[in-house]
Amino acid sequence: MGKKIYDIKPPQESSSEKAIGAKSGKSKLKTFSGIVIAVVIISAVVFFFSFRVEVDIWPQTEGVEMERSFTISANNETGEDVLPGVVLETQFLEEEKLFEATGVVDEETRATGTIIIKNSHWDHNQPLVDGTRFETADGKIFKTEDGTVVPGRSFEGGEVVPGEVEVSVVADEPGEEYNIEPTEFTLPGLQGSPSFDNVAGVSETAMTGGGRGERTVISEEDVEGARREVINSLIDQRRSFLESENPDFVFDESSQYGYEVIEEEITGNIGETADDFSVKMRMEIDVITFREEDLRDLLIRSMLAERGGSEEVDNSLKSERAVYEDSLSFKYDLTDADWEEKEAIINVDFAGELYYQVDEFELKSSAAGRTRNEFENFLNQQDFIREAGVRFRPFGIGRISDNIDRIRININF
């Protein structure tokens, strides 16, 4: 029997499977091509709608400083030098503050006290004038402040009962050394007379109050400074409220505020010894004010009225003077406020930068159709321009578009 041989063949793709694979490859290629085309179209559309020319200009500027006086009017007055304003009235405001007394005076005080005068010599009254002297054993002199009469002596049971009277005395000189303990006194004015040894004085309490040194008092400067502080504090309270309620108005200067002190109470008097004192005030406060925008417009008009004008640029462009508004600065003070007329004079120091502003349409028209270099050279030759540059967005091309809507002018400072 012959040997059988089996030939095993690998599986073969069917014709239908081959057709499916070819169709799938063509589909993928078609999809990829569609994506590429879509990207190109979108890019073209994006470029078409986003393309523009950026013209950057840094103009020449001129710094200007000026001083002017204007009238703030809250009664609808108009004019070139009139700033529209308003007067805002307020209800009463009240505040009380405690202040430290800072006045210092050199003080010399005299000791004072009382002496009992005893008369054991005369049966009749002994008159003494004011300023009668009493002397201690060590020579310290005290004087009566008023005249007096010392009663005469009397007798009880055969014994002498001296007449007595109590008087106030003050030391002849200032100083602590006159603050003495109770002691006996003689009357120098009676020396050499029979009554010298029988009319005398005695103190039963110490003399006090004598000294030399400094003491703190309420000074005139203390009171004036305290009054100003309370007034300013009430004005600041009014300002804070007004600023929160009227953010467009200006409330900077204290001269804008008119006030009337309705009530005032100060504890202590000028020159009085004290460590502190208080000031209490009740005030009515009005303010005349204006919008900052109105003031800025008025200052710009004033600058242009004095330094404005037009200029021919390269026989094709005209430029007008303009103020770079971000450069405008000012400070002011109010004078001669007339609260009945609702007017005040405002003195303003202000400064800013002027430049020539070229008509944007004319400038764009001059750029249309030129190359970048041509237009940059044109701009940099103009006296009113300090520096200029031209940029293409999103990327560079040869010439500037004739469509001026694709040109944007950027003024830089």
pLDDT digits (tens, 9 = 90+) for 101-122: 999 988 889 999 999 999 887 7
Give the pLDDT score at 12: 54
Q: Which tokens hold the place of 193?
A: 């007379």
Alpha carbon distance, N-terminus to C-terminus of the chain: 111
- Find residue 65's DSSP bridge partners: 351
> What tens digit of pLDDT does each residue of 224-273 get?
999 999 999 999 999 999 999 999 999 988 789 999 999 999 999 999 88
Q: Which tokens hold the place of 253?
A: 């200067």
- Find residue 154's DSSP bridge partners: 161
pLDDT at 4 over 90: no
pLDDT-derived band at 66 (thresholds 50, 70, 90) equals very high
Backbone angles phi, psi at 363, to 5 degrees: -65, -45
In b/e form, how buried is each residue of 225-253, taking b as 16+ CB within 10 angstroms? ebbeebbeebbeebbeebeeeeeebbbee
Q: Got the DSSP string for 374-394? A: HHHHHHHT-TTEEEEEEEEES
- Find residue 115's DSSP bridge partners: 167
Residue 2 is given by DSSP the state P
Q: Which tokens hold the place of 411?
A: 């003024």
Between residues 44 and 384, which one has the greater pLDDT? 384
pLDDT at 10 over 60: no
Give the pLDDT score at 396: 61
pLDDT-derived band at 384 (thresholds 50, 70, 90) equals confident
pLDDT-derived band at 94 (thresholds 50, 70, 90) equals very high
For residues 152 and 168, give the distance between their C-alpha atoms in angstroms, rounded to a whole number: 20
> What tens digit of pLDDT does each residue of 73-87 get?
998 888 889 999 999
Comparing 36-45, 67-76, 94-103, 289-298, which segment has the lowest mean pLDDT? 36-45
Residue 321's nearest CA partner among 65, 80, 69, 60 is: 60
pLDDT-derived band at 39 (thresholds 50, 70, 90) equals very low
Q: What is the mean pLDDT of residues 301-317?
A: 72
pTM of the shown model = 0.58
Cβ(291)–Cβ(248) under 8 Å? yes
Q: What is the mean pLDDT of residues 315-336?
A: 86
* CATH 2.60.220 given to domain 107-214: no
Give the pLDDT score at 1: 45
- The proportion of the chain whose per-residue pLDDT surpasses 70, expressed as a percent, equals 85
> What tens digit of pLDDT does each residue of 152-207 get?
888 888 788 889 999 999 999 999 999 999 999 999 988 888 788 888 999 999 99
Any alpha helices (H) in 72-219, and if so which ranges? none
What's the chain's average pLDDT? 85
pLDDT at 11 over 70: no
pLDDT at 325 over 80: yes
Give the pLDDT score at 27: 62
- Find residue 410's DSSP bridge partners: 56
